[in-house]
Chains A and B, each alone.
Chain A
Amino acid sequence: QEVTLRVHHFLSAEAPMHKDVLAPWEKLIEEKSGGRIDVQLFPSMQLGGKPPQLFDQARDGVVDISWTLLGYTPGRFPISEVFELPFLSGSATQTTAALQQYQAKYMGDELKDVHPLLIHAPAAYKVHTKDKPVAAQADLGGLKIRTPSRMMTDGLAALGANPIGMPVPEIAQALTTGVIDGAVIPWEVFGSLRIESVTKDHAEFGAENGGLSTSVMALVMNQAKYDALPDDLKKVIDENTGAALADMAGKAFDAAEAAERQKAIDAGGKITVIPEVDLAEWQGATQPVVDAWVKSMTDAGHDGQAMLDDARAMLAAAKGK
């Protein structure tokens, strides 16, 4: 081989992202480069450090490529946080498609220190609770809910819940022990947390209604490493990342979402879909959080309202497909 690309992330080798996206991508790149690129996957933070360090590990060349959630360093990627806002997400495929456009238009500055390979999202988050089913906004009142992001910390508070911040691996135990009453996560995470026997009640908001929230995920490459590639290998990377990879990732996450949802139903889980007519109330309650994001963007010298409207329009277009 001419080039070795070390890919680092925090999930286990069993996670859909590793098994169904990164592993096939490894094969694809090795094949298309005629064996001149050797991709090595390092799951579970094997190369050292903690998840919040992953983005900088790729930026600084500690690793060649890393995959992480941009929300793991709260405050650092405020422009990408628009998809963390309440009711601005869809299925993995839809949000990921919208993100491709949003990234191209707005995220260049936040990602300027790296060579982005894929910006994407999982399926919209649902509310999974242990003892108290959530059928209306009032049901969330006083519940201790694990928050997935900075935006949803405010979103959950606006909905009347007590947002609790904790690392993902703590969720399973925190649920069993009553440290939290529920968590805002996608179904797909059930695969590693195995909590379908603990949380029996699941509130869905329907992808077409703009699911509750999501997180922005990023597969990023060290810029110098990319620049040093010969042109034909650059081409191999270019042709097999971005929109091409987005499609694969979106499908993998949606497939995992459906599979885990079915497993939870088989385990006796009850799903409540919040009716569309009720959603106005939910959205009204969380409007201040959306306004605050727009204001903070405007204060930072961007056109916050245009960014929000664009994100909505891009998502709507993706849903229309």
Chain B
Amino acid sequence: MTAETLTEHAQSVAVPGWLAALCRFFAGLGGATLLAMMLMTVTSVILRAATGKPIPGDFELVEVGSAIAIFCFLPWCQVNGGNVLVDFFTQKTGPRVNHILEAIGDLLYLLIAALLLWRLCHGAAEMRQYGEQTMVLRLPIWISFTVILPAMTLLVATCAATFLGHIRGARA
């Protein structure tokens, strides 16, 4: 499935190489987390069937892992213009107008991502302060934020980069 066949996506724009590489790294990190989650779950299922003793806390590990993975996926999806949009009403408006419209979309996403990052910092601090933990393994929940907050920061940077890219695209 190549990107150019999907019309319901943003037009592609260039972003700085280091940023693209970071997004790629975080996508890989999230993917590795998902893979680990998959292997842990399969092992737990097999252990449960064979010995009646699944991996302790397998459910909560899936919850923590899935949060880490998905936060890591967001910048990669954005840098590739992978977030679906409706292009039916803007098929004839031309690339320049569409770049401007997509720049508006990226600006909105930038503001929202920055807002979420700001709020998540507070949420993580409270979870740490209150000592919230998982039920079986008693893992402190705030630890997963050591990955989640950098991923959200990267999302903010990526939105800024694609926003500037669309502005440049509209000028060209």
Contacts and interface: CB of A to CB of B under 8 A. Distances in A.
* A–B interface present (Cβ within 8 A): yes
Interface stretch (A158-166, A183-191, A307-315): A158-166
A93 interface: no
A75 B133 CA distance: 6
Interface string B26-62: 0000000000000000000000100011101111100
B7 interface: no
Nearest to A152: B135
A47 B48 CA distance: 38
Interface residues of A, number: 20
A75 B54 CA distance: 24
B20 to A, nearest CB: 33
A149 B135 contact: yes
B138 A150 contact: yes
A146 B53 CA distance: 13
A176 to B, nearest CB: 15
Contact of B54 (A74, A164, A170): A164
A74 B52 contact: no
Nearest to B130: A76
A275 interface: no
Interface string B114-146: 000000000000100011111110100000000
A179 B48 contact: yes
B131 A76 contact: yes
Interface string B8-36: 00000000000000000000000000000
A147 B95 CA distance: 57
B134 A74 contact: yes
Given A162-B54, A164-B59, A150 B135 contact: yes
B120 to A, nearest CB: 13
A167 B63 CA distance: 11
A52 B54 CA distance: 25
Given A144-B48, A179-B48, A165 B134 contact: yes
Contacts of A165: 57, 59-60, 134-136
Contacts of A75: 130-133, 138
Contacts of B126: 56
A23 B60 CA distance: 34
Q: How large is the interface on B (under 10, 10 to 19, 20 to 34, 35 or more residues)?
A: 10 to 19
B136 A153 contact: yes
A142 interface: yes
Interface string A62-85: 000000000001111000000000
A147 B48 contact: no
Contact of A153 (B131, B132, B135): B135
Given A144-B48, A164-B59, A166-B59, A74 B135 contact: yes
A163 B138 CA distance: 13
Given A142-B52, A144-B52, A162-B52, A74 B138 contact: yes
B119 to A, nearest CB: 11
Residue in A56, A73, A165, A179 with the greatest tally of chain B CB atoms within 10 Å? A165
A149 to B, nearest CB: 7
A163 B52 contact: no
Contacts of B54: 144, 162, 164
A149 B136 CA distance: 9
A144 B138 CA distance: 19
Interface string B74-104: 0000000000000000000000000000000
Nearest to A141: B52
B135 A147 contact: yes
A153 B56 CA distance: 10
B33 to A, nearest CB: 20
A96 to B, nearest CB: 23
Nearest to B62: A166
Given A142-B52, A144-B48, A144-B52, A163 B136 contact: yes
A74 B132 contact: yes
Contacts of B56: 162-163
B59 A74 contact: no
Given A164-B58, A165-B60, 16 more contacts: A56-B126, A75-B131, A75-B132, A76-B130, A76-B131, A142-B52, A144-B52, A144-B54, A147-B135, A149-B135, A162-B53, A165-B59, A165-B134, A166-B59, A170-B59, A179-B48
Interface of A: 52, 56, 73-76, 142, 144, 147, 149-150, 153, 162-167, 170, 179
* List of 8 A-B pairs having minimum Cβ-Cβ separation, nearest first: A165-B135, A165-B136, A75-B133, A75-B131, A76-B130, A166-B59, A74-B135, A73-B132
11 contacts: A52-B132, A73-B130, A73-B132, A76-B130, A76-B131, A142-B52, A149-B135, A150-B133, A164-B59, A165-B135, A170-B59
